Structure formats: structure tokens, C-alpha cells
A and B are shown apart, each in its own frame.
Chain A
Amino acid sequence: MSQQRKAVALISGGLDSLLAAKLLLDQGIHVEGINFYTGFCVEGHTHAIRKKDKAKPKRNNALWSAEQLGIKLHIIDIIEEYKDVLINPKHGYGANMNPCLDCKIFMVSKAKQWMEENGFDFIITGEVMGQRPMSQRKDLLPVVVRESGADDRLLRPLCAKNLAATLPEREGWVDREKLKDFSGRNRKPQMALAAEFGFEDYATPAGGCCFLTDKNYSDKLVDLWQARNKKEYELDDIMLLKVGRHLRPAPHYKLIVSREEGENKFLKGYKKQFSSIELTSHNGPLTLVDGKLSDEDFKMASRIAARFSQGRDADMVTVKITGPEGNEKTIEVPPMPASEIKQEWYI
């Protein structure tokens, strides 16, 4: 009997990677999944933060995909290494701050490293030719092959028939005839194949697999870099960009105002890193303050925070300002009228 070949599949949690892996499993290939966590992935945490989402079942779609396929999944933390991909993308950004092409090259090169360390034979991805404007354009698929170093050990089962035969096909490990020739933005062939395999309830993320394709999120990231005069970030920074209302009333400080109880609880975890504003006279949100503020700035920030509280119509409210070291100060301020909150403060 011939040796069973092993493929490592990039599993994003979306339908395409699920189908790509399934096509190979059905050919008797041993498949294990790999999922990379950049810190920007849509998976996971946001529903842990926002209380209103609690009714929805929480599920990590990459784990769900692996379970449907009956394969192992290795989740790899690439938060640190990914910084360089996002901060200096050789091929630039997409419509927002998404460096999709560099991201794909990086992930495939990491998968290649994993393949070699674990004695696997080739890599599979769910890429479909022409599906996404940046990373899956026909002329760009070879760039991923070349720059990742995966060369002809990178197989894209969903569009393989449109591409030159790769090593697994030429060696007969995989029957090319059973692979697909999908291309373009039409999702119907994938949906039909999903139905054929009996997959239901799969994830259908709009846009892309991460927050960087989201305009609002990207604006907040650019604002962060501009305010710091440096393109850099830590995991906490990028988590906080997902939570609350962000307002920058002046170039030197930003306010993060929670929108509901879940966010309040999440932001509380950052009280040792930031100054915070809480109302004591009325119910209201927790507001974190990012920047160096004068007493006047704190007064203004407190008036803004009061705007989002139940004391918004009161003449005066009492707020407690707590520094990162725990030092507290209480002041009274009139809530800012809605008309004075400038639209351009919202990031």
C-alpha cells in the first residue's frame, strides 16, 4: 500500500477552507488544520465582551470547522510576528488597513515551516481565484506561491484545475480530476458543494476574516498611530479598538466610553493602565482616558462622559476620576449638551 500523504490545511473558519480540506480528506489524505491568531481575527472575543451578543451561541468557527471535518486543529499565536506584516506590508494595504497579500504570504510561509517541522507533505488553502480583490487575484496567486517559499507544495483544491499542476497532483498523491475549477466572486458553486457534503450552518463572514477589512476599525487604528506618532501596537491596544465609543476631543487624548454592561466590565480590567471616569451621582458608563490630561481636560472629558450617562439632563453630576495608581478625585460638572459634542470627535 502506498504511503498515506499528509496535508496541513489553513483553516480560517470560513466555508472555503472547510471545503478545501474536505475535498482532500475524501481522497484519503491525512489532513490536520492550522489556524493563525493575529489579534485581529473576527473569531472569539468580541462576543465575550458585548453583553447584547450573549444570546447568540458562542462558537469559534475554526474549531467548528475542524470538528465538522474530524481533524485536529492547531491554533498558533502569531501576534508578535504579525506586527511587521501589518506595519510594513511590502505589497501595501487593501481597501482598509488589511495587508491581505502580505498576510497570506506570511501565513503560508508559517504553514510551510509547520509542515517541515511535523513531517507533512504539502499545504492546502481555500483560496479561490479572483474571489477577493487583493489576495486572490489570478496574477497574485503565484506571488503567494513564490514569496512564501511553498512553491509547488501549495495546493488550492477549490481552483486547482485553473492552475498549473502542483507536486501532489503530479506525483499522483491527489487526483487532480476530483479537484475544482471555481473562480470569481460567485459563491454558488461553494454553496452547492457545501450542500453536497451536508455542511449546514457554516460561517459566512462579510468582507474578510479579520477586523482590518472593517473601515471603522481601520480608522481607529490609523488614529492610534497618528496620536502616537508611531506605527506600533500591543495586543491590549487592538483589543480596546474593538470596544466602546472612541472620541478624540483634542489631539492629545482619547476617550473610550463603554456602551453597555459587558463593555463596562471589560474596560474595568484596564483601570490599572489608564485613568478612568465614572459617575457617582447617576448610572453611567465607565470611560477610559488615553493620554496626558490637564485639570481642564479632565473637566471637559467628564462633561463628555456625563453626556452618555443617565444624568445627561441634570444640571450637575458628580464624577470620580481614578488614576492608574488608584488615586481618586471627585469633581462636579455640568453634562455637555448633545449640540456641543462635535461629530469629528468620533473616531
Chain B
Amino acid sequence: MSHYTLDARNSLCPMPVIKTQNKIAELQPGDLLEVVCTDPGALNDIPAWCRINGHRVKETSEKGDEVAIVIEINAG
């Protein structure tokens, strides 16, 4: 299990979702991915994408203008 981070700051939805999707394609089940975004829309869109594609959102947080979403990768 490895922990990765993805910087999706300054890109607008759906780009953070696309970047997350493409990064997850390279990861293994059990890996954790933390995505950092500045578009608050990502707080809805990334969890929605995870739900339909079978991954689990472990945690979301907001700090200033940034939001962070931690995803646990499943087999999908």
C-alpha cells in the first residue's frame, strides 16, 4: 500500500476529476491517493466519480481556498 498525492490546484471541474481518474488508473488496489484542489466543485464531483467507479473516499477536508480528498483505491 502506498500513499500518493495529486496536485489538481488551479484547474476547474471536470479537470480535477479527469486527473484523479487518470492517476488512479496507474495505482493498485489498497493504495491511497490524496487529491488537492482549489475548485470547490471537486468536493462533489470527485466523490461522485469514486462512488460510481467503486473507490472509497476516506476523508475530505477544507483549508482556506484548498480542498483535499483522500481516496482508497479499490479493484473498481
| A67 with B18: CB separation less than 8 A | no
| CB-based nearest B residue for A69 | B52
| A44 with B49: CB separation less than 8 A | no
Chain A residues in contact with chain B, CB under 8 A?
37, 41, 43-45, 47-49, 57-60, 62-64, 66-67, 70-77, 239, 265, 269
**Inter-chain contacts of B76 with A (CB < 8 A):** 72
How far is it, in angstroms, between the C-alpha of A314 and the C-alpha of B65 when the chains are bound? 34
| CB-based nearest B residue for A63 | B48
When the two chains form the complex, which single residue of B14, B40, B54 contacts A60, counting CB atoms closer than 8 Å? Answer: B14
Given contacts A60-B45, A64-B48, A75-B14, 5 further A-B contacts (CB under 8 A): A44-B45, A45-B13, A58-B13, A76-B18, A265-B65
* Interface residues of chain A: helix, strand, loop or mixed (majority): mixed
Question: Which of A47, A70, A265: most chain B CB closer than 10 A?
Answer: A47
**Inter-chain contacts of B60 with A (CB < 8 A):** none
**Inter-chain contacts of A70 with B (CB < 8 A):** 52
| A60 with B17: CB separation less than 8 A | yes
B10 CB to closest chain A CB, in angstroms? Answer: 6
A22 CB to closest chain B CB, in angstroms? Answer: 15
- For window 34-76 of chain B, which residues contact chain A by CB distance below 8 Å? 39-41, 44-45, 48-49, 51-54, 65, 76
| CB-based nearest A residue for B19 | A77
| B41 with A58: CB separation less than 8 A | yes
**Inter-chain contacts of A41 with B (CB < 8 A):** 14
How far is it, in angstroms, between the C-alpha of A76 and the C-alpha of B49 when the chains are bound? 13
| A37 with B51: CB separation less than 8 A | no
| B18 with A75: CB separation less than 8 A | yes
**Inter-chain contacts of A59 with B (CB < 8 A):** 44-45, 48
Interface flag for B21 (CB, 8 Å): yes
| A48 with B49: CB separation less than 8 A | no
**Inter-chain contacts of A66 with B (CB < 8 A):** 52
How far is it, in angstroms, between the C-alpha of A239 and the C-alpha of B17 when the chains are bound? 17
Question: Which of B17, B40, B51: most chain A CB closer than 10 A?
Answer: B17
